[in-house]
C-alpha cells in the first residue's frame, strides 16, 4: 500500500465499517459467545468493531509516523497484516478489563474475539490488496483516499 495519512484514515473507517459490518452481521450468531439474547451478542460484537475503528484512527497516526522512517514512504503488504497483533491485543485487553463502554469485564470469550477479529482483519486486508482497485480506479493513486 502507498497511503497518505488522510487516505489511511478514510480507508480504515470505510472498509472496517462496511466489510467489518457485513461480517459481524453474518458471524455473530455462530460465534461462541455463550448463552444470551442475540441482540446482546450483536451489541457486543458491534461495540468491538467500533472500538477497532476508533482506536484504529489513532493507530494510523502512529503508523504514518513509523512510515516516515522508510525511504520509500510505503507500507508493505506484510505490515498491513502483522499490525493485527498489536491492535488485536489492545482491543481485547480493553474489552476484557471492561474499559470499552457497554461491554462488561470478562464477558467476551477469547475464542469468540479471535474468530471475529481475525476474519474481519484478513478480509479487509485481502480486499485492500486487490479487488478494491476494481471498485475504484483512482483509490490506489490517491493514497487510499475515497473522497
- Tell whether residue 73 is a contact of other proteins (CB under 8 A): yes
Residue 88, exposed/middle/buried by CB under 10 A (0-12, 13-18, 19+)?
Answer: middle
**Which of 68, 66, 48 minimizes the C-alpha distance to 108?**
48
In the chain, count H helices and then E strands. Answer: 6, 0
Closest to other proteins by CB, 101 or 130: 130
Most distant CA pair in the chain: distance in Å? 51
- Tell whether residue 147 is a contact of other proteins (CB under 8 A): no
- Tell whether residue 19 is a contact of other proteins (CB under 8 A): no
Choices 9-17, 48-56, 76-84, 86-94; region in contact with other proteins by CB under 8 A = 76-84
Choices 23-31, 42-50, 69-77, 113-121; region in contact with other proteins by CB under 8 A = 69-77
CA atoms of 119 and 127, how far apart (whole Å): 12
- Tell whether residue 107 is a contact of other proteins (CB under 8 A): no
Among 7, 103, 121, 128, binds other proteins (CB under 8 A): 7
Amino acid at each position: 500500500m502507498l497511503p497518505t495519512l488522510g487516505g489511511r484514515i478514510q480507508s480504515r473507517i470505510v472498509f472496517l465499517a462496511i466489510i467489518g459490518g457485513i461480517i459481524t452481521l453474518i458471524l455473530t450468531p455462530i460465534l461462541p459467545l455463550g448463552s444470551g439474547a442475540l441482540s446482546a451478542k450483536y451489541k457486543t460484537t458491534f461495540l468491538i468493531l467500533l472500538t477497532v475503528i476508533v482506536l484504529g484512527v489513532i493507530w494510523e497516526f502512529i503508523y504514518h509516523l513509523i512510515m516516515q522512517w522508510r525511504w520509500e514512504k510505503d507500507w508493505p503488504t506484510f505490515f498491513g497484516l502483522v499490525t493485527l497483533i498489536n491492535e488485536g491485543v489492545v482491543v481485547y485487553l480493553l474489552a476484557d478489563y471492561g474499559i470499552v463502554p457497554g461491554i462488561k469485564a470478562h464477558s467476551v470469550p477469547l475464542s469468540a474475539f479471535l474468530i471475529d477479529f481475525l476474519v474481519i482483519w484478513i478480509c479487509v486486508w485481502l480486499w485492500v490488496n486487490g479487488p478494491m482497485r476494481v471498485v475504484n480506479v483512482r483509490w490506489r493513486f490517491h493514497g487510499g483516499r475515497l473522497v
